[in-house]
Amino acid sequence: MKIQLALDRLTKDECFHIVRETMDFIDWIEIGTGIIKEYGMSIVKEMKNLYPDKMIVADMKTCDAGKHEAEQAFRAGADVMTVMGFANNQTILDALEVARSYNKQVMIDLLEIKEKERVEELNRLGVDFFCLHIGKDSQLQGESIKEGQMKLVSGLELVHIAVAGGVNEDSVGNFLNKAIQVAIVGSAITKSDNPSEAAKRMREAIHS
pLDDT surpassing 60 at residue 22: yes
CA neighbours within 13 Å on the CB side: how many for 166? 15
- Residue 184 is predicted with a pLDDT of 96
- Residue 147 is predicted with a pLDDT of 54
What letter would DSSP give residue 64? S
More reliable by pLDDT, 97 or 166: 97
- Residue 191 is predicted with a pLDDT of 96
- Residue 145 is predicted with a pLDDT of 56
What letter would DSSP give residue 185? E
